[in-house]
Chain A
Amino acid sequence: MRPVLNKTNARLAALAGAVLFTATVAVLLARQYALGPARPAPDFRTFGPPGAPVRIEEYSDFACGACRGAADKLNEALKVYPGKLRVELKHYPLSNIHPWSLQAAAYADCAGARGKFKEYAALLFEGQENWGEAKAEPGEFRDYAGRLGLDWEELKACSNDPKTLKALKLDIAEAELKGVNATPTFFINGKRAVGPAQLLEQLRKLDKLLAADGAGR
């Protein structure tokens, strides 16, 4: 009987090690470059036609000032390039510094399920200084619901629903998988941009991207 730890098996083990090491590095790189299958955001968090040549995925936090600025820039870009952009907003609440961000995202999604995502999100961004670092649960969430004619009790129940929280957790998990650790982070046709300055730089290149696609303006 041949010993298990012979020279041939040692060579095979080394080969196995090399294969597994290469595969691990390849998977980790593929994650960093967001090469995984796209997980679409819900319709109410998606703006622009599905066939748009430029696809922007944004990871955002309602209590972050830079995200507020970026939201304005993106709204502008959607108007400047009608039909050429598709923006998908995903939540990445930085709960360690913004204690109410997760809750805000849940309320926004619940408002979205009732056809008011954009409006509720705009109010959240507008009033972020008031609720962002509040000690107790901010009353603003309820005020915003009232201003948009949304039933508060219904919205609150929806925000605590495990399904709502599951969608948020998946957004967060996806962001972490892609190495997102700051907001706002964008993936513009897969290319990463962090912060409004990089977004602006990429937006300036949009003309080039659109021309390359043959869509033009």
Chain B
Amino acid sequence: MKRETITSKRTALDLAGLLARLALAGVFIYAGAIKLLAPAEEFAYAIETYKVTGPQLSLWAAYIMPWLELFSGLLLAAGIFTRFNALFCGALLLFFEVLLGQAWLRGLPVTSCGCFGSGGSNSLGYEFLQNLVFLALAYLAFRRGRFFSADGALGGGA
């Protein structure tokens, strides 16, 4: 009886990990793809409004970041090197959180956070809190994200 309870608890956790992994992957794939299909300059202008990087560095970031988001999202969705990718997504989210936080504290007039393309976005506070939810998903995907994954199927992965 006790063993059954433990097993069903494990299954529930695995399922939660799978859902977290897929949800986070979806967020990253969407965020990356929407930016990749628009001019990098648009995203670069959004990055500039955080007043952390100059125009040139912002443009380089705008070229590279969407590919990183798309690739890590896809690998996470397929469950390839799941733990490494969940960790990487978590690190990216933490980095975004620092950027959002400093802009929020400095009261910068950021009209588009650039999170999902360069259209209008929610307030910085809202985006900050939303990122915390994504961070929780990354944690869950890191801990329990190998259920129904390529890693699981091939018995490897980091």
Contacts and interface: CB of A to CB of B under 8 A. Distances in A.
Contacts of A35: 37
Tell me if B's interface is mostly helix, strand, loop or mixed: helix
B37 A37 contact: yes
Interface residues of A, number: 25
B80 A15 contact: yes
Interface in A1-54: 4, 6, 8-9, 11-12, 15-16, 19-20, 23, 27, 30-31, 35-37, 39
Interface in A185-214: none
B41 A173 contact: yes
Contact of B37 (A31, A170, A173): A31
A166 interface: yes
B80 A16 contact: yes
Given A8-B155, A27-B70, A174 B81 contact: no
A177 interface: yes
Given A8-B156, A9-B156, A170-B42, A15 B78 contact: yes
Contacts of B39: 39, 170, 173-174, 176-177
Interface in B35-61: 36-42, 45
Interface string B84-110: 000000000000000000000000000
B40 A173 contact: yes
A169 interface: yes
Interface residues of B, number: 26
Nearest to A34: B37
A23 B70 contact: yes
Contacts of B80: 12, 15-16, 19
Contacts of A11: 154, 156
B117 interface: yes
Interface in A84-100: none
A169 B41 contact: yes
Given A19-B80, A20-B74, A9 B157 contact: yes
Interface in A138-173: 166, 169-170, 173
B151 interface: yes
B142 to A, nearest CB: 17
8 contacts: A15-B78, A16-B75, A20-B75, A23-B71, A27-B33, A27-B36, A169-B41, A170-B41
Interface of A: 4, 6, 8-9, 11-12, 15-16, 19-20, 23, 27, 30-31, 35-37, 39, 166, 169-170, 173-174, 176-177
